[in-house]
Structure 1
């Protein structure tokens, strides 16, 4: 049975996960980094990426953006297990990515998360990106803004 506090915690963690996707899609990497604890870690094992601390997360995300023509991420709710002032969870996502080098990716993945309650609310203490399906077939579509920018 859920207590009011656990319902609020789950709501706040789900809002944190939504904020991550929004910050990524809006290229707001300062905000994205602020969603992590000071010592938070973001890992993408398949790409050999490990960013520790907010500054590495921000600068690493900015570098990734410099590689993209366009990037679209859609995240879906998963599970949350509350453990007092910490929690673990998973979120499921799909991404479309077109790189400046001509490569493109469609993937379905899982975020494996660890959360910590802080004075500023719930934050990620760790977020690990695990690809479950990857398609490198050239994407047939385009992003209108990206196409316009390349024409200039």
Structure 2
């Protein structure tokens, strides 16, 4: 079925939002996340051993954990977006290699489960959760934290 110009535009804006999140985290530009999430977003990163909370909590957590890594790349792909007017839901694959400062690489495979809303400033993520697919070469404490969230 043909998609309307509005639907195509909405999908591209949401896809850009997913990429903007990846760039913000990988570049450690925490303030940029304010343009990705709503001010009252609910974010749950516990499936990969992280925390759950509002945006300020998530930004502090990410800043604290990312300092252990020399580099990271959040590759997002295969998004399944369901539009419903000014809201949308999505499931997006993420492959995330994280390079420890010593050079060892940990791989995390996950899906982001998102609820998006259209705001006066454009589309934003209002809710985000993770669904873990796999860890490879992860420290035991990371795997332990993630398994406690199940």
What is residue 24 of structure 1 aligned with on the other side? 25
Deviation per residue, 1:64-98 (Å, 9 max, x gap): 22232332221113110001111001111111124
Give the secondary-structure state (helix, strand or coil) at the position aligned to 2:13.
helix
- Paired with 2:58 and 2:35, the residues of 1 have a C-alpha distance of 9
Question: Whose Rg is larger?
Answer: 1
What is residue 78 of structure 2 aligned with on the other side? 77
- Paired with 2:53 and 2:135, the residues of 1 have a C-alpha distance of 22
Which among 45, 51, 64 is matched to residue 49 of structure 1?
A: 51
TM-score between the two structures when normalised by the length of structure 1: 0.79
TM-score between the two structures when normalised by the length of structure 2: 0.80
Is the 1:33–1:57 contact (alpha carbons within 8 Å) kept by the matching residues of 2?
no
Unaligned 5+ segments in structure 2 are: 140-150
Give the ranges of 4+ consecutive aligned residues of structure 1 lying more than 6 Å apart after TM superposition: none
What is residue 7 of structure 1 aligned with on the other side? 8
Higher relative contact order (CA 8 A, sep 6+): 2
**How many residues in Structure 1 have an aligned counterpart in Structure 2?**
137
1:56-135 → structure 2 map (5 Å cutoff): 56-99=57-100, 104-135=105-136
